[in-house]
Structure 1
Amino acid sequence: MSPVIELAAVARQYDLDGTPVLGPLTLTVAPGTALAVTGPSGSGKSTLLNLIAGLDRPSSGSITVAGERLDRLGEAALARYRRDRIGMVFQFFHLLDDLTVQDNVLLPAQLTGRPAAAARARAAELLELLGIARHRHAYPGRLSGGERQRVAVARALINRPALLLADEPTGALDSAAGADVRDLLVDLHRAGQTVVLVTHDAGLADACADRRIHLVDGQVATDSGDPATSAAAVTR
């Protein structure tokens, strides 16, 4: 089975005369993997996520996600890729306050032109699965932080993406709501969803991921999927 993510000698450099903020980095992620990306601030975590999301372009190297060669796509094609192939969950939810929960979840499906009845059935399925069906006609401002993050996850999953990207998904939540989102990510992974999770929270990474890479100065310092780097970390 082909990897969901393939990065080959990818580097991102903003200053032409400076050190790359990321890479060169080679990485493959198999379908069904939950990968946690950790590291200190400035280590390249967000840059890596933005490259995989097609929100940024590599200075060199190639990026293939779900069969799409991102570094060769124009802006319109990248927008379609983000719409059709991936789901994204952010720290601060980015829900539309003037839309109901159901309408927030339906929005990506409407943008892809999915039949309305099928989209509504998928939204109902997700809201039930995530335990927020009773809030489908409520507005986001009336929900708790944990409930809003569940809405954001439902919105990210409505088009059945090959890949779910989560950027500090518990960073704006209290401990109880954070635990709810952690359990949700665990359940999604168990159901076979491929996930890339960027987090400063080692506990979240340990609970949700079956593979973990730790970035330092734009390089992979350790990779639990690579015995060589894992052994090197133990001997330090």
Structure 2
Amino acid sequence: MTSTEPLTEEPAAGAPPVIELREVTKKYDSGAPALASLSLRVSPGEALAVLGPSGSGKSTLLNLIAGLDRPSSGAVTVDGRRVDQMSETASAKFRRGRVGMVFQFFNLLDDLTVLDNVLLPAQLCGVPRAQARERAVGLLRHLRIDRYAAAYPGRLSGGQRQRVAVARALVNRPALLLADEPTGALDTAAGEEVTALLAELNREGLTVVLVTHDVRLAEATATRVIELVDGAIVRDAAVGA
């Protein structure tokens, strides 16, 4: 791929981790915790896949990293900021600017064109329209969907819509891309296309955290895999190790 602007900022030599969780516990009720004293570091440029059965804590982990939820105890640092200490307003602003998110069901706005969907996060962050448009058009070209810029999402295939969602997630040049079951709603061919895209983005330097049930997706995309069981990490290994 080629692009007029880098997808994310180049990390400095010896840069601190993009994500650091220290002794994080999350309880929702009086039962067993969703996460139990979990510690985790993710370095710049890593692609981390989070595996585990339903109820293992995968979604809770992703929500804590994104600042969508707060731990019961422990510290969550993302891109040098303690997201667990932010107000909801500050967390939303931080997420828009520094954390890109891709979901299973795309979450595109059907009454906006592809280009306007991608532009929206940049506009919400106050990026001047001309600069935002340049970034958005460059990303659509980079992801090979620029021909659909004026189309509406409902006219696109699942794989094409997920590419639009990835472009939207990257328009503010985030430090981190979070992907929650990004191929779960796709057929096999579209899923393989999105898998290849995520792997390619990581090779270009983007830090990725991927939550999935699909071991094949994890092995094809990630440089490192952790497995959660009952809110604890039971395996942490480099892919191929």
Return the alpha-carbon distance in structure 2 between the equivalents of residues 23 and 158 of structure 1. Answer: 34
Report what 1:7 is aligned to: 21
List alignment gaps of at least 5 residues for structure 1.
231-236
Return the alpha-carbon distance in structure 2 between the equivalents of residues 71 and 169 of structure 1. Answer: 25
The equivalent position to 1:108 in structure 2, one of 103, 117, 121, is: 121
Bigger helix fraction: 1
**Range with bigger deviation, 142-151 or 21-30:** 21-30
RMSD over aligned Cα, in angstroms?
A: 0.8
1:161-205 CA distance string (max 9 Å, x none): 000000000000000000110010011000000000000000000
* Shift of residue 71, structure 1, vs aligned partner: 1.4
Report what 2:210 is aligned to: 197
* Shift of residue 222, structure 1, vs aligned partner: 0.2
Q: Does 1:22 align with 2:29?
A: no
Which aligned segments of 4 or more residues in structure 1 are displaced greater than 6 angstroms?
none
The equivalent position to 1:82 in structure 2, one of 72, 76, 95, is: 95
Q: Which amino acid aligns with 1:50?
A: N
SS state at 2:166 partner: helix
Return the alpha-carbon distance in structure 1 between the equivalents of residues 97 and 103 of structure 2. Answer: 18
* Shift of residue 18, structure 1, vs aligned partner: 2.4
SS state at 1:224 partner: strand
The TM-score with structure 2 as length reference comes to 0.92
**Range with bigger deviation, 18-27 or 31-40:** 18-27
Q: Does 1:206 align with 2:219?
A: yes
The TM-score with structure 1 as length reference comes to 0.94
Report what 2:185 is aligned to: 172
Report what 1:234 is aligned to: none
List alignment gaps of at least 5 residues for structure 2.
1-14
Identity of aligned residues (%): 68
* Shift of residue 81, structure 1, vs aligned partner: 1.0
Report what 1:56 is aligned to: 69
The equivalent position to 1:129 in structure 2, one of 142, 146, 165, is: 142
Return the alpha-carbon distance in structure 2 between the equivalents of residues 47 and 23 of structure 1. Answer: 11
- Number of aligned pairs? 225
